[in-house]
Amino acid sequence: MSMSEWQPIETAPKDGTGVLGWREDCGIILMRYAAPMDFLTDEEAEGLDEYSAEAEDWFAADLIAGCRMDGNDEPTHWMPLPEPPK
């Protein structure tokens, strides 16, 4: 697949793989489909109820934390991450 080919979000992998995503309001984002318990430490997850901790959704990554994207915040398109430099 060419790196310039954006795909509908419905075709994106939902196995925790990091991908590039697109939202009209914020442009290109680094994201993955996962549950918070897949990437939070026990300390970070403290205070989350069982549903919030285990519910899978799209999560955007930033330099400090991540945020759940659901409802109107869901991305509309995705593409694979580029290959790392050699």
Write down the pTM of the prediction.
0.76
Question: DSSP secondary structure string, the chain?
Answer: --TT--EEGGGS--SS--EEEEETTTEEEEEEEE-GGGT--HHHHTT--HHHHH--EEEEE-SS-EEEE-GGG--SEEEEPPPPP-
Q: How far apart are CA 2 and CA 38, in angstroms?
A: 29
Tens-binned pLDDT, residue by residue, of the chain (86 aa):
445 689 999 999 999 999 999 988 888 999 999 998 888 888 888 889 989 889 999 988 765 556 777 777 789 999 999 988 98
Q: Residue 1: what pLDDT?
A: 47
